[in-house]
Amino acid sequence: MSAAKTDPGNFFEDFAVGQVIEHATPRTVTEGDRALYGAIYPTRFALPSSAEFASSIGLPAHPVEELIGFHIAFGKTVPDVSLNAVANLGYAECRFHVPVVPGDTLRTRSEVIGLKENSNGRAGVVWVRSTATNQRGEVAIDWARWVMVHKRDAGAPAPETVVPSLAQSVAAEDLVVPPGLDFSSYDVAAAGSPHRFGDYEVGERIDHVDGVTLTDAEHMMATRLWQNTAKVHFNTEARPDGNRLVYGGHVISLARALSFNGLANAQLVAAINAGAHVAPAFAGDTLYAWSEVLDKAEVDAPGVGALRLRLVATKGRDETMTLRTDDGTYADGVLLDLDYWAFVPR
């Protein structure tokens, strides 16, 4: 009875296709979040750094980095969706709609869109589509995610298998341009790089050169800021090896920040097409990043183009920028393989 009021999270058999979960703890975003993000990640993109720059590119307010909104919105889903996860398997169709600005309060709601029990009957894959809305009810971010979740009771019957159809990538024409965005008088000196849309070629790889060695205090502070409660991130007694596992989103934000050096004009994340956390990261690891240009598209806004980028985080620097070995598996040292769209000036 002692734990009767604590939340055990949902197990595989607790989910049903069509089920809607209203996640707890609405969260007001503040300038404190922006400052902490800047203390934890070496971000230098001009837009989130400068209210003046935001105004100069047509934005009515000063948005925080898209990943701040994403981590907050995602964190809300953890207690209900992935507290009993075996593994996070993937993301898809993540789009950033209305920019998140300080003062906004985000809530997240998820709908179960797929279920597939594992053949061993001890766990299963749950697909959810999650939507974060602001205090005006506008959609800020939505995304699909799938995760393998333990069963509470291996004897529980398997649900009908439903595997949703998810796009390999968000189509360029479905990218949402923030109202007002106008890169026609974009200040490259303020942004820190002369490289525009036309300077990037599909297939090009960019070594972001810089590295950051992880500490436990930093990744825990970041993960808490997003109210992400997965115990493996905080508790040395929760894993046999006594290490705290770094939240995958921490690696994403770190790699995105490092990518400034080479992609300084990739000012806004427009969509996340796919993401794989290939290997775990721990305090003491030194993270590096490289990017590959996967696609390019023009966008219906003044001076705005979109680059589809692969962002790869590695443990230790790999100047050869090798994603996979000859047998198709990820190369040693690859931690993250993220596929996203960013808006850049044409």
Provide the 3-class DSSP secondary structure of residue 311: strand
Contact 49, 37 (CB under 8 A): no
Question: Per-residue x/- marks for its own copies, 84-103, CB under 8 A?
Answer: ------------------xx
Contact 260, 45 (CB under 8 A): yes
Please identify, among the stretches 49-57, 166-174, 176-184, 306-314, the one whose residues bind its own copies according to the rule CB under 8 A.
49-57
Of the candidate residues 241, 319, 326, 327, the single one contacting its own copies (CB under 8 A)? 319
Residues 136-175, interacting with its own copies (CB under 8 A): none
Please identify, among the stretches 152-160, 171-179, 231-239, 304-312, the one whose residues bind its own copies according to the rule CB under 8 A.
231-239
Q: How far apart are the first and last CA of the chain?
A: 62
Residue of 187, 171, 179, 146 whose CA lies nearest to 277 = 146
Any bridge partners for residue 337, and if so which?
276, 312
Question: Per-residue x/- marks for its own copies, 232-251, CB under 8 A?
Answer: --xxxxx-----x-------
Helices 66-77 & 248-258 angle (0-180, nearest 10):
170
| Tokens at 238, concatenated | 């929760």
Of the candidate residues 290, 330, 340, 343, the single one contacting its own copies (CB under 8 A)? 290
Sign of CA dihedral 86, 91, 95, 96: positive
Residues 294-313, interacting with its own copies (CB under 8 A): none
Of the candidate residues 57, 73, 100, 263, the single one contacting its own copies (CB under 8 A)? 263
- Shortest Cβ 156–its own copies spacing (Å): 23
The DSSP annotation for 163-193 comes to -----SS--GGGPPPPTT---TT--HHHHT-
Task: Determine if 119 is a binding residue for its own copies (CB under 8 A).
Answer: no
Residue of 33, 60, 102 whose CA lies nearest to 253 = 33
| Tokens at 308, concatenated | 């589809």
User: Cα–Cα distance between 335 and 40 in angstroms, integer?
Assistant: 19
Query: Total residues contacting its own copies (rule CB under 8 A)?
Result: 85
Task: Determine if 52 is a binding residue for its own copies (CB under 8 A).
Answer: yes
Residues 60-89, interacting with its own copies (CB under 8 A): 62, 79
Residues 168-187, interacting with its own copies (CB under 8 A): none
Nearer to its own copies (CB atom), residue 28 or residue 325: 28
Task: Determine if 256 is a binding residue for its own copies (CB under 8 A).
Answer: no
Nearer to its own copies (CB atom), residue 66 or residue 104: 104
Task: Determine if 192 is a binding residue for its own copies (CB under 8 A).
Answer: yes
- Shortest Cβ 74–its own copies spacing (Å): 14
Task: Determine if 15 is a binding residue for its own copies (CB under 8 A).
Answer: no
Task: Determine if 280 is a binding residue for its own copies (CB under 8 A).
Answer: no
Burial, 328: exposed, middle or buried (Cβ in 10 Å; 0-12, 13-18, 19+)? exposed
Please identify, among the stretches 166-174, 175-183, 214-222, 274-282, the one whose residues bind its own copies according to the rule CB under 8 A.
214-222
Task: Determine if 217 is a binding residue for its own copies (CB under 8 A).
Answer: yes
User: Cα–Cα distance between 336 and 310 in angstroms, integer?
Assistant: 10
